[in-house]
Amino acid sequence: MRGNRVRHHRLMRPVAAIAVAAALAAAASCSTKADEEPPAESTSGPVKTGPGIEGNVITLGVLTDFTGLNAASGKEVTEGQRIFWDQVNADGGICDRFTVELEVKDHGYNVQTAVSQYAEISGDVLSFVQVLGSGMATALIPELEKDGLIGIPLAWAKNLAASENYAVIGPTYDVETINGLDYLLKEGLISEGGKIGHIFHDSEYGNNALEGSKFFAQQHGMTVVEQRIGPAEPDMTSRVTALAAENVSAIVLTTQPSQTAGVAAAAVGAGLNVPLLGNGPTHIPSLLDTPARDALIEHFYLVGPTGGVGLEPAADLLKAYQTKFPGVEPSNSVVTGYATSKVMDLILEKACADGDLTPEGVLAAKAAVSPVDTGGLTGELDFSKPGSSPSRQDFIARPKPGVPGGTEGVEASYEGPTVDSYVRS
């Protein structure tokens, strides 16, 4: 096993569903599971191995989006993951022996495609280091649990944290929303007793965030004015007009980035000059190249599970990204990919230390590795209590042109007072 020198080096990198059911049945019928074969003993030491490991190569699955609604984020999350595992491999690999390769599939933000891709590769990977999208991650819970594999969802809905087979990297959307609203209250941007507008997707993503805004409102004598939208709804004008008529004092956004820009522009048109609070997936740097640029700079606040690519904990990552992609401006999604891989690395190192790199050993290591310290990339994580939010610490940021990621951090590892009393319904 690597000693303290290598651990310190890692720190500095930094530590440094009807349609779905049909698809599952169809996919499962043609799947060949490697875990039907007996696990093999490693020939180079007392570490038990099995599916997902060939010789000294560990294969991890990636189910992402390169062509759908979240293509920009999916691409950059995956780039952050590739950078991390390239560094691990150059440093000797998992427990100085196993190198890591990624099996990447583009589901195009389509649940049935993701289910089919899972069936195609699940027998040949040790775990899934990325499952992008709440809908996709939710659909795969029964399969992960049946196969005994762990996954890291690029989604933060509470139902995912309830599965012992998922490691959710940060606060769930309800906790995230409460923290964001607490920050607005602390800064005097909203007041007790007012109205909060909430524009949200009718999905695990949006509905879980709505739970947070409703709880916050209840605790502070406020009311929530709801605007439920579809994930691809293009025009936010009528939604913002309805909220302006209700005289809301802030708008919470649980949307796609393009919808975030639409809300900001529509708010200006409606004369609604109130803070806009977006959950983690609502912002990408290219929004500052849209007509909504000035409105976002003036009114938008981002609350998310990972720090920005321009913050000190991500300094080595930013340097590595700029070396690999010269002239390309990274978004904060690169940090998310890097952080998720860091957590998977810690889990695999624990499993290797315990002498069991089978799926069963990795699942046991995921449960035992808490508390997880990612060196400031996220808040502290706790996977020992399925059903609870793995963290209660968020990062608050503001849009800012000309800086890495297009945002400037204003609060790191922020945990507001209201979340302390939060009990889920």
pLDDT tens sequence across 90-117: 999 999 999 999 999 999 999 999 999 9
How sure is the predictor about 392, in pLDDT bands with cuts at 50, 70 and 90? very high
Tens-digit pLDDT profile for residues 84-94: 999 999 999 99
Both tokens of 148, joined, read 């005994």
pLDDT tops 50 at residue 226: yes
8 A C-beta contact, residue 242 and residue 227: yes
What value does the mean pLDDT of the chain take?
Answer: 90
Write the CA distances from 291 to 43, 112, 286, integer angstroms: 60, 35, 11
**Neighbour-count burial of 315, counting CB atoms closer than 10 A to its CB (0-12 exposed, 13-18 middle, 19+ buried):** middle
Tens-digit pLDDT profile for residues 24-59: 334 333 333 334 434 334 334 589 999 999 999 999
pLDDT tops 60 at residue 20: no
Spell out a b/e string for 316-335, using b for 16 or more CB atoms within 10 Å of the CB, else e: bbbebbeeeeeeeebbbbbb
8 A C-beta contact, residue 15 and residue 317: no
Backbone angles phi, psi at 188, to 5 degrees: 75, 20
**Worst-scoring range by mean pLDDT, 5-19, 260-274, 312-326, 387-401?**
5-19
pLDDT tops 50 at residue 3: no
Write the CA distances from 133 to 33, 152, 154, 206, 373, integer angstroms: 24, 11, 6, 12, 24
pLDDT tops 80 at residue 10: no
For residue 425, the model assigns a pLDDT of 66
8 A C-beta contact, residue 314 and residue 80: no
Spell out a b/e string for 7-29, using b for 16 or more CB atoms within 10 Å of the CB, else e: eeebbebbbbeeebeebbeebbe
For residue 423, the model assigns a pLDDT of 85
DSSP state of 328: P
8 A C-beta contact, residue 81 and residue 102: yes
How sure is the predictor about 164, in pLDDT bands with cuts at 50, 70 and 90? very high
pLDDT tops 60 at residue 11: no
For residue 46, the model assigns a pLDDT of 87
8 A C-beta contact, residue 171 and residue 147: no
The answer to pTM > 0.75 is yes
How far apart CA 121 and CA 212 sit, in angstroms, is: 36
How sure is the predictor about 277, in pLDDT bands with cuts at 50, 70 and 90? very high
For residue 424, the model assigns a pLDDT of 79
How sure is the predictor about 21, in pLDDT bands with cuts at 50, 70 and 90? very low
pLDDT tops 70 at residue 243: yes
pLDDT tops 70 at residue 22: no
